[in-house]
């Protein structure tokens, strides 16, 4: 899924399947976006847009989404993916469905599925 989001500092970013991109080159209606987290480490993932429509995607990341487990202030285990946190919603054997921990009650539909400690499905489409 492709959408536009704001960085912590308010800059406009392009989000594609959980990876974020910053506007590297803007020329009229055309924009070339580069990986916002690892471009300086040689990540070659780029997106080209014309009038905010994706016309080319080279999803050639040299890194994974940044995923880790963190503990909430109340002591619960949360899943953190690219600085968004998810809380466990349902468990079935080794499978866990995680939902956005901060804005789920406000209509955020972001969800992650893990089997053991591996993310097997991620809809990182946060609305905040």
2-30, pLDDT tens digit by residue? Answer: 788 777 677 888 988 778 899 999 999 99
Whether 57 has a pLDDT exceeding 80, the answer reads yes
Structural tokens at position 45: 């993932």
- What was the pLDDT predicted at 61? 85
Long-range CB contacts for residues 5-9, cutoff 8 Å, separation at least 24: 5/126, 7/36
CATH topology of domain 67-123: N-terminal domain of TfIIb (2.20.25)
pLDDT band at residue 58 under the 50/70/90 scheme: very high
Specify the domain boundaries for CATH 2.20.25.240 within the chain.
2-58, 67-123
CATH assignment of 2-58, among 2.60.40.10, 1.10.274.10, 2.20.25.240, 3.40.50.720: 2.20.25.240
- pTM of this prediction? 0.56
Q: How far apart are CA 127 and CA 109, in angstroms?
A: 8
Q: For the chain, what is the mean pLDDT?
A: 87
Burial, 23: exposed, middle or buried (Cβ in 10 Å; 0-12, 13-18, 19+)?
middle
């Amino acid at each position: 899924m492709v959408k536009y989001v704001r960085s912590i500092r308010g800059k406009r970013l392009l989000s594609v399947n959980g990876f974020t991109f910053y506007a590297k080159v803007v020329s009229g209606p055309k924009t070339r976006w580069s990986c916002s987290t690892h471009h300086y480490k040689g990540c070659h993932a780029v997106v080209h847009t014309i009038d905010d429509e994706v016309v080319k995607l080279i999803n050639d990341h040299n890194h994974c989404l940044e995923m880790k487990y963190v503990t909430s202030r109340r002591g619960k285990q949360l899943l953190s993916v690219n600085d968004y946190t998810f809380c466990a919603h349902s468990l079935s054997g080794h499978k866990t469905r995680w939902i956005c921990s901060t804005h789920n009650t406000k209509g955020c539909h972001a969800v992650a599925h893990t089997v053991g400690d591996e993310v097997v499905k991620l809809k990182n489409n946060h609305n905040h």
